Amino acid sequence: MKTAERSQLTPELVARYPRPGMAIPGRLRYSPDGKFVTYLFSERGDLVRDLWRLDLSSGRKEHWLSAPGEAVTEENISREEVLRRERLRLRETGITEYFWAKKANVMLLPLRGELYRWAEGKVTRLTGGGVIDPKVTDDGQRVFFVRDGDVWTIGDRGERRLTSHPAGTTNGIAEFVAQEELDRLSGYWPSPKGDLIAFEQVDESHIPIYPIVHQGKAALEIEEHRYPFAGAENARVKLGVVSVASGEATFMDLGREEGYLARVDWHPDGRLLVQWLSRDWTRLELLAFHLPSPLGEGRVGAIPLLVEKADPWINLHSDLHAIEATGEFTWSSERSGFRHLYLYAPDGRLIRQLTSGEWLAEATVELDERGGQLYFVGWRTSPLERHLFRVSLEGGEPEQLTSEPGTHGVVIAPDFSSFVDAWDNREHPPSITVRNMQGAPQRVIHEAMPNDLEVPPPELHQFRTSDGVELLAAVYRPHSHRPGAGEGQGGGRAPVVVSVYGGPGPQMVNDSWAQTVDLRAQWLAQNGFVVLKVDNRGSARRGRAFEAPIARRLGQIEVRDQVEGVRWLDSQGFADTSRVGIYGWSYGGYMTLMALLTAPNIFKAGIAGAPVTFYEGYDTAYTEKYMGTPQENPEGYRLGSPLTYADQLRAPLLVVHGMIDENVHFRHTARLMQALIDAGKRFESLIYPNERHMPRSEKDRVDMERRLLEFFQRNL
């Protein structure tokens, strides 16, 4: 399609989900018998998904199941499920999740707190009323779930409660920081046979209640959250194991100083494997527990298998996979400075390192025990891309299995004969193809959708800072300033808006379609702005040495790197770096404030969304990983707080926040507003009474996008 025929962006289009080309199948999985690939998809192109399947033998795709009864919406689910969706950053409705048994064609469908089972071509309702986090045994015969703060089961003896929580505790539910910061959403773990259940018992009764008042509703509503602030007490956690048959329970003796229950897994030989993370994030222990039979009173002691130590912090992984035949297990570590894969003996003795080099074996996808191969995603030549690799457990060079440049996400068949490849890059919207293990296409699940919007891909660049560090950047040029647009059409250099996240975790610059359909950046470019993104030091996917400089001093080197990005952009000849704005959300909102307040000679206007303004007001796990506690590092907390510099504001500022944000509380913005008022500084605010951390109302988002553009047009 010619550019002239494409649609121009509007606030309504910028606010709409899914993004152009992103109405794609999700939750892709092979059926246990390997005959189908199942996935969630909306044929209408909206967020309401149904369950589909692809017949691998015939290539036939069919709409398979819709949500029975009323579809899942934001309005008809429990608050607990609303908050789980927030942890998952989940916008989709309809059928939002399903689970196959590992070795039987049995599937669970959770919907609106009810639980359904599909088997032998028929859907049956199993139970209802507050069901969360359902699981099914490998053979499909037994189901588990959490309800009312306890673990339940459905099996040959009907529906039963397996645990009974003492007052002030819960069983089987992950605490807030585990869900939000440890990437652990579950609090219980059935054994492979389904005869034992490991479960987390959480006591938060000693943590003060943080109330969140719904100010924008007709009826008074108050949420009560137990939120552990940096330097204060965490939830008290125990790990127990209960017998499904007898109901007898035993608790593990973790015997460690204060820390986090990071991961729990069952070894094929019956041992319970626990990853225990020190509270300061510098020590990770893999512990093994030999369980007594039968279970009973008393505590079971731990046998340490391995210990990881790292400075300044450990990044958690989910790369522990055990080999049933030998008891060996695979593991990943950043001990070399880059994440790589290792093979260990059952007793924790290192057998061999499987990958090495200045690149990332980012995450394990599957372990092929019979074939002796480990499949993983990562990059070897460019951190802008992600590919599928495999490496032999006997050692040797990894083999790259995907070839198209860009970003690949994969699911591997149970028999390792094929894989589903979801691929995209800046030029190519997502397509999803079943490929054989040599990479040849076999079946197409989803073809890249044509794009009828004026959203050309951004340019990707790299440059060196004044101290010699290579940074990656993405640039969205104004339409009139693109190469080939003609001399003089741009009317001189264009004003700049920096789009920033800047914190540890997300990678803002990569070769993906998500870059192209960053519609806010595209809309600003359409309206005459140059938009710049830079992944500063502290960002992910570049190794530990690239992440580490921000340790204990957040908000300092990140701002300097963004300044370096603006200076590099100035050398390109089309940007007016005397007119630079900046915007971001969450850590990006924090970065916006720090940039305006500590580099006012560069940044002349800013929009800060849901910003942290004082780290004593953020949670323990995240804050202490990067900053230590306020008691240990008071100067780092002082220098890392925008409140410290409130009297230095010289540029126009717009602060945006949802009043019921349970992650970065509205209190952060309220304290900033008061500090600016006390300092006699002018600012603007945009408050959404019914939004949490991630704005969900399309009307709110339309209003926000309109206001954001107007702000930059007025001030730049």
Q: What is the pLDDT of residues 280-318, one digit of tens each?
A: 999 999 999 999 888 876 788 999 999 999 999 999 999
Domain count, the chain: 2
Spot the catalytic one: 243, 661, 665, 668: 661
C-alpha dihedral (78, 81, 83, 87), degrees to nearest 10: -170
Q: Report the CATH number at residue 196.
A: 2.140.10.30
Active site includes 586?
yes
What pTM value is reported for the model? 0.95
Last residue of a domain, one of 310, 327, 347: 310
Q: Residue 1 — pLDDT band, cuts 50, 70, 90?
A: very low
Catalytic residue among 586, 619, 641, 665: 586
Share above pLDDT 70 across residues of the chain, in percent, rounded to a whole number: 96
Identify the H or E element spanning 522. helix 519-526
Domain membership of residue 704 (yes or no) is yes
- What share of the chain in percent tops pLDDT 90? 88
The CA–CA distances, whole Å, from 238 to 97, 164, 172, 224, 599 equal 29, 14, 11, 23, 47
Of 321, 387, 657, 693, the catalytic one is 693
Answer yes or no: is pLDDT of 186 > 80: yes
Residues 6+ apart with CB under 8 A from 181: 619, 621, 622, 625
Q: What is the CATH classification number for the domain harbouring 711?
A: 3.40.50.1820
Instruction: Give the mean pLDDT of 323-337.
Output: 97
pLDDT value for 197: 98
More confident residue, 694 or 76: 694
What digits encode the pLDDT tens for the residues 499-545? 999 999 899 999 999 999 999 999 999 999 999 999 999 999 999 99
Which pLDDT score, from 0 to 100, does residue 88 have? 75
How far apart are alpha carbons 115 and 125 in whole angstroms? 6
CA distances from 574 to 454, 478, 494, 599 (A): 21, 10, 6, 22
| Radius of gyration of the chain from its Cα atoms, rounded to whole angstroms | 26
Cβ atoms of 565 and 557 within 8 Å: the answer is no
Number of H helices, E strands in the chain: 12, 45
Q: Is residue 192 part of a domain?
A: yes
Structural domain for 492, as ranges = 459-715
- Record the tokens describing residue 441, joined without a space: 């296409």
Q: What is the mean pLDDT of residues 654-658?
A: 98
Residue 698, CA distances (Å) to 15, 83, 657, 677, 695 in order: 6, 19, 15, 31, 8
Residue 506 in domain: yes
- Compute the CA torsion angle 547, 553, 555, 556 (nearest 10 deg): -90
Do residues 416 and 366 make contact, with C-beta atoms less than 8 angstroms apart? yes
Residue 645 in any domain: the answer is yes
Is 661 in the active site?
yes
Is 12 among the domain residues?
Answer: no
599 in a structural domain: yes
In the residue annotation, 693 being an active-site residue is answered as yes
Q: In this structure, how many other beta carbons lie within 10 angstroms of the beta carbon of residue 518?
A: 22
Q: Looking at 295, 310, 325, which one is the last position of a domain?
A: 310
Residue 355 lies in a domain: no
pLDDT band at 485 (very low <50, low <70, confident <90, very high): low
Of the three residues 310, 337, 369, the one that is the final residue of a domain is: 310
Q: Does some domain include residue 244?
A: yes
